[in-house]
Structure 1
Amino acid sequence: MPSCKDSARQAHLTVHRIRPRRVLMSIFLLGILTACATPEPASVDGSGAPRPSAGEVTAGVAAAHPLAVEAGLDVLARGGTAADAAVAVQAMLGLVEPQSSGIGGGAFLLHYAADSGEITAFSGRETAPAGAEPDMFLDAEGEPLSWFEAIVGGRAVGVTGVMPMLGAAQQRFGALPWSALFDASIGAAEDGFEVPQRLARFAAGGRWPQAEVPDVIELFTNAEGETISAGEIWRNPAYGQTLRRMAERGPRTLLEPPISTRIIERASQPPLPGTLVQADFDAYAPVMSEAICGGFLDHRVCVPPPPSSGVALLQMLALLEHTDIDQRGPDDPVAWLQFAEASRLMYADRNQYVADPAFVDVPVAGLLDPAYVAERAELIGDRAGSLPEAGSPPGLAWAPDDRFRHTGTSHFVVVDAAGNVVTMTTSVESIFGTGRTVGGFFLNNQLTDFSFVPEVDGVPVANAVEPGKRPRSSMSPVLVFDVDDRLVAALGSPGGSAILAYNAKTIVGLLAWELSLQDAIDLPNLVTLGENFFGEASKFPEDVRTGLVELGIDVQPGRGEESGLHGVVFHADGRVEGAADPRREGIWRTLVDQEG
C-alpha cells in the first residue's frame, strides 16, 4: 500500500512560477483525509529559527462581537481546545449577531493541528430536501422568482448543518465535554445583554424583507411594544432553552424531534412552502475532507474544497502571480486594476463551474491548471476591458450562472494554547435568514444560493437545485503557510459573493505588500460585480481614484463595503498578532488579556 507521502506525490500538480526567483509550489487536489496519514511538520521557519514550542503560543479569539470572543476565551481558560471554543463562539454569535449566523445555518471550517501539521476541512453546508425540484425558484411562467420573494419563502430553508459540523470537529479535536461549551451563551440569552448597534439597525428594518416577517417583529419587540434599540438589555429565553437542550442531547439536536418537527412545520408554511420532512434531517451528515491548497508568493494558501468557492480564491491568486502586483503597492492604481481584472476572471469561472462535487464534476484541477491560468491571465491588460466570459478549463463544461448573492455571514478565528487553530465562516445566508424562527433561532435561506435557472439554452447549470445537494457557497476560510510549511496566518470574511474579493485583498496586502494584518484588513474594499466596480470609494486616496478612472475603473460606493474580516498572524518569534475588521463590531483578544 502506498504511503501518505507517496499518495500526496501522485495527487498534485506542480505549478511553475513565471518568476524563477520564486520557489515551486503545489496545488493539492481533493482527497479524503482519513485515507492518508498525517504529514510531518516543518521544524524551522524561513530564517532558520526554531519553531516556538506549544507553551509559547498565545491563545486568543477574533470574532464579530466581544461577547462571542469572551465565550471562546472562557472555554480556552478551562483547558478547551480551538475546536471546543469554536462551539462556544458560534453559540454566542447566534444570540448577539443573529442577522449574520446562527445554529440554524451552515458553515465551513478549517482546523490546523499544531502537533502534526494536519489540516482538516469540515463542511456544514446545508442540503436540499428530497422533495426539491430544479424549477422550485421559477414562477408559473417559468421565470426566476424575484430575489426578495425567494429569500423569505419556506422552500429556501435547507437542512441546517453548522452544529453537526461543529460536533464532528469537536469530537475529533476537542478536550472538554460537549455539555460544557454553552454556559456563556445560555447565561446571556436568559439574563440578557446589551443590544449591539448592528443588530438594532437590522432589527429596525430597511430594504430587507425579513424585517417584515412576523417572527422578526415578535422576537425584536420589547415589553413597551417598540423595536429593540442599541444599548438596551434584551433577552432571548427561547434560545437559551434550545441551547440547554443541545448541551444535553448533542450536536444533532436540531435534526431530531421535537425541534426538527417545528422546523418542518414552519418551513412548510406560506409564502412558497417548502418540502422538508424528517427523513431529510435523518440523512444529513457533515463532510470531512482534505483542504485544497495553491501557491502565492512563496506561500501555500489552503481553503475548503467545493461547494466552497475557495478554489476560485486560489485561482485569483494564481492569476495575480502573472502580474507585478507584488512590485507595486496600495497607492498604485495599476495594482488595483490588476486586482479588479483578476477578480472578474475569477468570478466568471466560479459562477460557471463551482458546485457540489457530489453531484457534478467540478474541474478543480482544470481551474488551477498552470497553462489554463496563464491563458486567462493574458486577459489582464493595461486598462479595464469588457466583462469576460468564463473560460474552458480542462474538464466538463457547464452553463453560466451569473447571480451575485448578498448574505448574512460571520467569520471567526480561534487559537488555543497548544497552537491548534480554527478558522470558520458561518452563515444563515441573508439577513436573519428567512426571517422565520424556531426556538429563538432563525431558519436559513441557503437554498437560494442555488441557481434559480436549472439550464441555459439546454445546457445544465452546475449549481442547479437537486435533492440532497449542497448549494455553492462563497464562504472560504483560509490558512496560509510559508515555504517551510510553518503556519503564518488564518483569516476569513463574511460578505456574500464579495467574500472572495475581501479575502484576496487581505492576502495581497499581507503577502504582496507586506502590511500588518490589521493594515491589510483596513485597505479599501474593491469588488467587481458584473460590469460594475463597487467598493469604498472614499477610502481610496484621491490620486488613486483618479488613476483608476483613467484606467477604466470608476469605483462606485454603496455596495461591497460590509466585510467582516477576522484573522491571526503567527510570527517566527512566537508572537500572535490578531486583527478585526473595524467595519463591524469584532475584536481580537487573547487569554492573557482576559486574565490580566
Structure 2
Amino acid sequence: MKRLLLALTALVLPVAATAQGVVTSADPRATLAGQEILRQGGSAADAAMAMMLALTVVEPQSSGIGGGGFLVHHDGTTGLIDTIDGRETAPAAATPARFVGADGKTLSYYNAFPGGKSVGVPGNMRLMAMTYARWSKLPWKALFQPAIKLAENGYQVTRPMNAGMTLTAPLWKNFPDIAKLYSDDGKPLAIGTTVKNPKLARMLRRLADEGAEAFYTGDNAREIIAAATGSKVAPSDLTLADLAAYQAKERPAVCGRYRVYRICGMGPPSSGATTVLQILGMLERFDMKKLGKDSPVAWHLIGEAMQLAYADRDRYLGDRDFVSVPVSGLIDPAYVRSRSRLISAGRTLTKYEPGTPQGAEPRTNAVQAEVPGTTHFIAIDKGGDIVTMTSTVEGPFGSQLLANGYVLNNELTDFTFAPEKNGMPVANRVEPGKRPLSSMAPTIVYDATGKPIFTVGAAGGKTIIMQVAKALIAHLDWNESARDALGEGLVFFNADGLVLEQGTARESLLAPLEKLGHKVVVAKLGLKANAAELTPSGWVGAADPRSVGTALSE
C-alpha cells in the first residue's frame, strides 16, 4: 500500500508550468481533481471548489465542508478582485464566557477544542454556492464527481493525515464515530492504508443533486445538531435556526503597496492582509534585496516588523460586523512608516507594543489560541481567472466530531477565551453570530502595470501570516522561484522571543541574532503553503516541499 501511495505522488510533480491553467494543493488527489475540472472546461472557481470538496475526503485533518474558509478571486477579463468570507459563526446562544470555567478562569486550549461547544456553523458550502453563482462554467454536479469517487473507491492515508491522527487519537475514546473511521483497534491508521467513506459519498451525492441548501436544512442539518449537542464532551447549544441563518459574505479586498507591487488579500475577520501589509511596509525602507536571504540583519528586521505587526493584530483585529476595525489606519503608509522608525538594523526592541492607527478605538491586547492546521489551494484557468483559497476545520480533525462522514470544525476556539482584559472588552471575544478572528491570508500580487504575477497562501495557525510574508519577500526581493520561496525556512516568535525553524538554514542565525539582542530558540513549526507565479512560459504552480502537495498544469 505504501508503494502505491508513493507511485501516486510520483505521477504529479511539485512544480508545473503552462501557458494554460494550473492548480496546486496540499494533497495530490485534490490537485488531480482540480486538473480534471479544468480539462472539462471549468473555470478557476470550478477547479477550486472541486479541490475543496476533494480535500474534505482526503485531508479531513485540515479542512472540508464541515469548516469554513476565505476565497480571493481575480477576474482575468475585467481585472476585478473579489473576496468571499465563508468563516464559521458562533451560535445565537453563545456568550462571551463560552470558554471560561466555573472558577472564573479561561479554559486551556486542550480542554476547549474537543466536543460540541467549539463547533461553529460551517461556511464552506455557502461559500461554494456564492462562488458557483458568480464564476462557474460547468454544471454544479460535475464539481462533486472527483470527491465522490475518492470517498466511494477509497484513498490512501498520507504522512500528514497519519500525523494528525497520532496527535488526536488519544481523545477518540469519547468520539466513537471518528475512531471507527480513522483508527484500527485503537491505533491510528498506518500510512498507505486505504480509507473508504461511503457515508460521506452519499452526502456529497445529495449535495450534488439538491444544492448547498441540503447542507444547512433537512437531514444533514439535523445530523450536525445531533453530533454537536449529543457530544459526550462539551455538548453544544447549536440549533437548526443557526444553520439555516448562515450566509457567506462578499467583503472588500484589502490592498496595499510594497515597492512597485500592489498586494491584495482578505480583510476582517481575517487578519491576514492587514498584518502582511504592515510587515512588508515596515521593511520597505530597508534594502532587503542587497541584504539577501542569508543575512542575519535581514531576518532581524523581519523579526522586528513581525512582532510590531502582530501586536497591532492582537489589539485591533476582529469581526468587523461586531467591532470597529481600523483597517485603513493600520495599513496607512504614514502610520506604517511611523512603526518602521521604531526598527533599527543594529539593535533589538525590548518591547513590541501596539500603536495607535487612525480610527482606532481604545482597546486592550488579547492573544487567541489559534493552532497549526488548515490547507490552501490555488486554481488559475486559461482565461486568466485566479482563485486562491484557504480552508480549515481549525486544529487537526477539528472538534473530533463527525456528521455524515465529514469532520466538524472547532473554529470557535479561534475566539479569544478571555472576554475582557483590564476592564475592557476584547475585540475577538465570543458573541452570538460572530466570526472568530483568523490568520488565513490568501494573497494575490500585481506588478506595476496591474498584471497579476504571484499568488500565495498557507496553513499553520498564526504562522500563516509570516509564511505568506516570507514567501513574498523571498519572491519579490530575493528573486526566488515560487517553490524556493515556499521552501525558505521561517522565523516566527513566541512569548519569549524568536523561533527559528528547525531543519532549515534559519538555524544558522541563532548566534548572530542573539548578538543583536534577541532571545532565540530552534523548534519545529507545522508549515505548509502553496503558490503560483507568472513566468515567460505561463503560470507555474508550486507546493511547499515540506508537504505532500503537488502542482499540475491543465
Which residue of structure 1 aligns with residue 69 of structure 2? Answer: 107
Identify which of 483, 486, 491 aligns with 1:526: 491
Map of 2:220 onto structure 1: 259
Structure 1 residues 107-137: Cα deviation after superposition (integer angstroms, max 9, x where no partner): 0000111011010101100011110001111
Match of 1:568 in 2: 532
Please tell me whether residue 90 in structure 1 is matched to residue 55 in structure 2.
no
1:233 positional shift? 1.5
Alpha-carbon separation, structure 1, partners of 2:281 and 2:78? 28
Matches within 5 A, 1:101-250: 101-205=63-167, 209=171, 213-222=175-184, 227-250=188-211
Contact 1:112 1:420 in 2 (8 A): yes
- Mark the runs of 5 or more structure 1 residues left unpaired by the alignment: 1-55, 592-596
Structure 2 counterpart of 1:67? 29
Q: Does 1:482 align with 2:482?
A: no
C-alpha separation in 2, matches of 1:496 and 1:542: 22
2:522 match: secondary structure: coil
Question: Structure 2: where are the runs of 5+ without partners?
Answer: 1-17
Range 503-512 or range 371-380, more displaced: 371-380
Q: Distance in 1 between matches of 2:283 and 2:25?
A: 29
Q: 2:479 aligns with which of 499, 510, 514?
A: 514
Deviation, 1:541, is 6.1
Question: Separation in 2 of the partners of 1:398 and 1:323?
Answer: 31
- The aligned residue for residue 3 of structure 2 is none
Whole-angstrom CA distance in 2 between matches of 1:541 and 1:134: 40
Pairwise CA distance, 1:270: 3.8
| Whole-Å separation in 2 of the counterparts to 1:191 and 1:358 | 43
Aligned to 1:351: 314
Write the distance in 1 (CA, Å) between the matches of 2:209 and 2:363.
46
Give 1:403-442 correspondences, 5 Å limit: 403-442=368-407
**Kindly tell me: are residues 400 and 327 of structure 1, through their superposed partners in 2, closer, same or farther at Cα, counting changes over 3 Å?**
same
Conservation of the 8 A alpha-carbon contact between 1:210 and 1:434 = no
Structure 1 residues 328 and 281, CA gap change in structure 2 (3 angstroms): same
Shift of 1:209: 4.5
SS in structure 2 at match of 1:326: helix
C-alpha contact 2:26 2:528 (8 A) present in aligned 1: yes
If asked which structure has higher relative contact order (CA below 8 Å, sep 6+), I would say 2
Q: Structure 1 residue 393 and structure 2 residue 354: aligned? A: no
How big is each residue's C-alpha offset from its partner over 1:76-114, in whole Å with a ceiling of 9 and x where there is no partner? 111100111111101111111111101100100001110
**TM-score (structure 2 length as normaliser):** 0.93
Measured in 2, the distance between the counterparts of 1:225 and 1:460 equals 43
Structure 1 residues 233 and 365, CA, compared in 2 at 3 Å: closer, same or farther? same
**Counterpart position of 1:14:** none
Q: In structure 2, which of residues 273, 280, 288 is the aligned counterpart of residue 325 of structure 1? A: 288
1:217 CA drift (Å): 1.4
Retained in 2: the 8 A contact 1:294–1:301?
yes
> What is the CA-CA distance between 1:363 and the residue it aligns to?
0.5
Q: Deviation of residue 210 (structure 1)? A: 6.2
State the distance in 1 between where 2:502 and 2:546 align. 15
Helix, strand or coil at the partner of 1:508: helix
Secondary structure of residue in 1 paired with 2:468: helix
Report the residue type matching 1:433 in the other structure. G
Is contact 1:297-1:512 (8 Å) kept? Answer: no
1:491 is the counterpart of 2:456: yes
Q: 1:588 aligns with which of 541, 551, 554?
A: 551
Q: Give the stretch that moved more between structures: 114-123 or 233-242.
A: 233-242
Counterpart of 2:49 in structure 1: which amino acid? Answer: V
Specify the SS of the correspondent of 2:379. Answer: strand
SS of 2:413 mapped into structure 1: helix
Bigger drift between 199-208 and 226-235 goes to 199-208
Q: Share of identical aligned residues, percent?
A: 38
Task: Return the alpha-carbon distance in structure 2 between the equivalents of residues 537 and 280 of structure 1.
Answer: 43
SS of 2:546 mapped into structure 1: coil
Give the residue type in structure 2 aligned to 1:387. K
The 1:297/1:428 distance shift into structure 2, 3 A limit, reads same
- Residue 7 of structure 2 is matched in structure 1 by none
Residues 389-425 of structure 1: per-residue CA shift (max 9 Å, x gap): 2111112122211234113200011011211110000
Partner residue in 1 for 2:252: 290
Which residue of structure 2 lines up, in the alignment, with residue 279 of structure 1? 241
Alpha-carbon distance change, 211 to 549 in structure 1, aligned in 2, over 3 angstroms: farther
Q: 1:206: Cα distance to partner?
A: 5.8
- Residue 316 (structure 1) aligned with residue 279 (structure 2): yes
Q: Once the 2 structures are TM-superposed, how far is the Cα of residue 472 of structure 1 from its aligned partner? A: 0.6
Shift of 1:513: 1.2
Distance 1:237 1:508, change over 3 A: same
Deviation of residue 211 (structure 1)? 8.2
Letter in 2 for 1:303: G
Deviation at 1:545, TM superposition (A): 3.3
Count of aligned pairs between the two proteins? 533
| Offset at residue 312 of structure 1 (A) | 1.2
- Deviation sequence 1:9-34 (CA, Å, 0-9, x none): xxxxxxxxxxxxxxxxxxxxxxxxxx
Question: What's the counterpart of residue 443 of structure 1?
Answer: 408
Match of 1:363 among 300, 314, 326: 326
